[in-house]
């Protein structure tokens, strides 16, 4: 029969392949925005046998998915039998997976009320249910989509991509977790890093998974790899993808702990009853995965997961000068470290040299925060502290006046004050990107007021707020050329 299509999409920033079982893999054009697909020739009514079977099936998915990241369930008898399944992306841990499924359970019944077949997908999991009469659309079989942009020297790239995916597919099919997923990256040029994933549905045997992935990669290579900067190909039971930006959570073997400098953290008092294993904590884990995989694309990201008292809000900001790969690495470290340092806190902020991460049970996006604060001063004293501080204040004031919400340096500025041929002060200022410009500058002024008391005549220091930060030192510490350079007065 005809398929009634009620498809919901909102503005999206990248294409994400995600598993649909047993219908196969559906490529969802989405970032944090959900996708839903309601189908069927007939509806069910509230409190009917089909309704009760559906609720039971969805509850079974949520209760059982965390162990393997995949679960399917069949409830009832024909003609009211419900077949349902869910799968999470392979880099999600059990708690985050369960939170994604819980949110999908709520959303799928709201977005597709009374539909006897429906699909709902977030960026990290996909859920579907159907009755026994549903016919699989041919468009769900093999889907091939190009990513944005082009790749330089495509013939050289093709050779490297083939070699890399051969190893990636082996890693996916021999993954010790049994999840039939692997994500990794390689540096193609000095400026281009390529991120790749391969995943199969959980019911495949490893050798069948490898065959599926091999065929999918051959098709993707044939369709796009010689001319696109990214591509996705998904078959009924597997998917391969590459992009020139991050789109998954870095695995532990990809995190370079030596490249990340932890500064400090600010944790709220621990919850009296503990947070581990609660719905709030599961939502928190899912939120961390969203922040980690999405923030590096632009360097800044806000999101929220859950409902009511279990909702958790989060924000991740990378320093404005760091490359995408450095941002990705820092976000992964921040995500891990904040769980170690604040295991039972419902609100916390953590600062690294290259990024900061915040979460709370209260919405804070768009609100300036100068109450979460920290300071880290260098050990060495500045020579001529009075003169040093005077030049520093002038430099910070100039940088504060330069910050703007426009590209390329949104709410970020770097500068150098040349004191003599051999002496310089290097500094940077930055704000989160969801506050007004006047609030950004006020936050930086609030932070700079602490220079003398906090930094105490030292030749380097970081002053941190929830919504802004400043840093300075006598040695260069930021990437690229400074936005602003102050030369010495001719009389000096």
DSSP string, 382-395: PSSHHHHHHHHHHH
Directed axis angle between helix 154-173 and helix 206-223, to 10°?
170
Run of H or E including 183: strand 181-187
The answer as to CATH 3.40.190.290 being correct for domain 6-140 is no
pLDDT tens profile 448-487: 999 988 998 899 999 999 999 999 999 999 998 898 887 7
For tokens 């996909």, name the residue: 126
Return left, alpha or beta for 292; rule: phi > 0 is left, psi -120 to 50 is alpha, else beta.
Answer: alpha
Q: Is residue 14 predicted with pLDDT exceeding 80?
A: no
Superfamily per CATH, domain 255-360: Gnk2 domain, C-X8-C-X2-C motif (3.30.430.20)
Rounded average pLDDT over 442-447: 97
- CATH code: domain 143-243 is 3.30.430.20
Q: At 160, is the pLDDT very low, low, confident or very high (cuts 50, 70, 90)?
A: very high
Write the pLDDT tens digit of every residue in 29-85. Answer: 334 467 788 876 678 999 999 999 999 999 999 999 988 888 889 999 999 999 999
pLDDT at 217 over 80: yes
pLDDT-derived band at 194, boundaries 50, 70, 90: very high
Q: How high is the pLDDT of residue 405?
A: 86
Query: What is the token pair recorded at 127?
Result: 């859920």
Please give the Cα distance from 378 to 381 (Å, whole number): 8
54-69: per-residue pLDDT in tens? 999 999 999 999 888 8
pLDDT at 258 over 80: no
* Nearest Cα to Cα of residue 177 among 19, 335, 69, 102: 69
Residues 283-289, mean pLDDT to the nearest whole number: 93
pTM of the predicted protein model: 0.82
The CA distances from residue 55 to 106, 129, 322, 328, in Å, are: 10, 11, 47, 38
- Give 153's DSSP letter: S
Q: List the domain boundaries for the chain.
A: 6-140, 143-243, 255-360, 373-486
Q: Using CB atoms within 10 A of its CB, is residue 389 exposed (0-12), middle (13-18) or buried (19+)?
A: middle
* Element spanning 298, H or E: helix 279-298
Report which DSSP code applies to 451.
I
Q: Which fold has domain 373-486?
A: Killer Toxin P4; Chain A (3.30.430)
Task: Give residue-wise pLDDT tens across range 15-27.
Answer: 233 334 343 434 4
Task: Assess whether the region 6-140 and the region 143-243 belong to the same CATH fold.
Answer: yes
> Chain-wide mean pLDDT for the chain?
85
| Closest to 148 (Cα-Cα) out of 225, 230, 223 | 230
């Amino acid at each position: 029969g005809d398929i009634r299509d009620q498809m919901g999409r909102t503005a999206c920033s990248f294409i994400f392949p995600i598993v649909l079982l047993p219908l196969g893999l559906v490529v969802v054009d989405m970032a944090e925005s959900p996708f839903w697909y309601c189908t069927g020739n007939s509806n069910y009514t509230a409190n009917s046998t089909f309704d009760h079977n559906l609720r039971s099936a969805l509850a079974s998915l949520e209760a059982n998915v965390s162990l393997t990241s995949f679960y399917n369930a069949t409830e009832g008898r024909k003609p009211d039998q419900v077949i349902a399944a869910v799968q999470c992306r392979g880099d999600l841990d059990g708690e985050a997976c369960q939170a994604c499924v819980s949110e999908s359970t709520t959303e799928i019944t709201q977005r597709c009320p009374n539909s006897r077949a429906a699909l709902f997908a977030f960026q990290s999991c996909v859920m579907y249910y159907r009755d026994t009469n549903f016919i699989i659309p041919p468009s769900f079989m093999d889907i091939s989509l190009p990513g944005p942009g082009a790749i330089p020297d495509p013939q050289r790239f093709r050779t490297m991509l083939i070699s890399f995916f051969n190893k990636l597919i082996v890693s996916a099919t021999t993954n010790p977790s049994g999840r039939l997923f692997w994500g990794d990256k390689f540096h193609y040029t000095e400026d281009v890093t390529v991120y790749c994933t391969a995943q199969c549905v959980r019911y495949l045997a490893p050798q069948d998974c490898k065959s599926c992935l091999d065929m999918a990669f051959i098709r993707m290579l044939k369709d796009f790899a010689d001319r696109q900067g990214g591509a996705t190909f998904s078959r009924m039971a597997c998917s391969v993808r590459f992009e020139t930006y991050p789109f998954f959570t870095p695995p532990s073997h990809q995190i370079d702990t030596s490249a990340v400098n932890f500064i400090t953290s600010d944790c709220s008092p621990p919850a009296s009853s503990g947070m581990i294993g609660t719905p709030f904590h599961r939502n928190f884990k899912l939120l961390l995965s969203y922040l980690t995989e999405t923030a590096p694309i632009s360097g800044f990201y806000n999101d929220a997961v859950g409902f009511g008292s279990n909702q958790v809000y989060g924000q991740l900001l990378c320093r404005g000068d760091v490359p995408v790969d450095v941002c990705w690495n820092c976000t992964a470290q921040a995500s891990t470290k904040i769980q170690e340092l604040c295991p039972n806190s419902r609100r916390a902020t953590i600062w690294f040299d290259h990024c900061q991460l915040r979460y709370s049970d209260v919405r804070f996006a768009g609100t300036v925060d100068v109450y979460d604060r920290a300071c880290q001063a260098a050990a060495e004293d500045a020579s001529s502290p009075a003169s040093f501080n005077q030049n520093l204040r002038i430099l910070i004031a100039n940088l504060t006046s330069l910050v703007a919400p426009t590209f390329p340096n949104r709410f970020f500025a770097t500068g150098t004050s040349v004191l003599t041929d051999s002496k310089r002060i290097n500094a940077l200022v930055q704000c989160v990107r969801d506050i007004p410009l006047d609030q950004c500058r006020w936050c930086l002024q609030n932070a700079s007021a602490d220079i003398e008391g906090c930094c105490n005549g030292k030749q380097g220091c970081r002053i941190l707020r929830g919504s802004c930060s400043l840093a300075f030192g006598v040695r260069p510490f930021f990437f690229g050329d400074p936005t602003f350079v102050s030369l010495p007065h001719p009389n000096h």
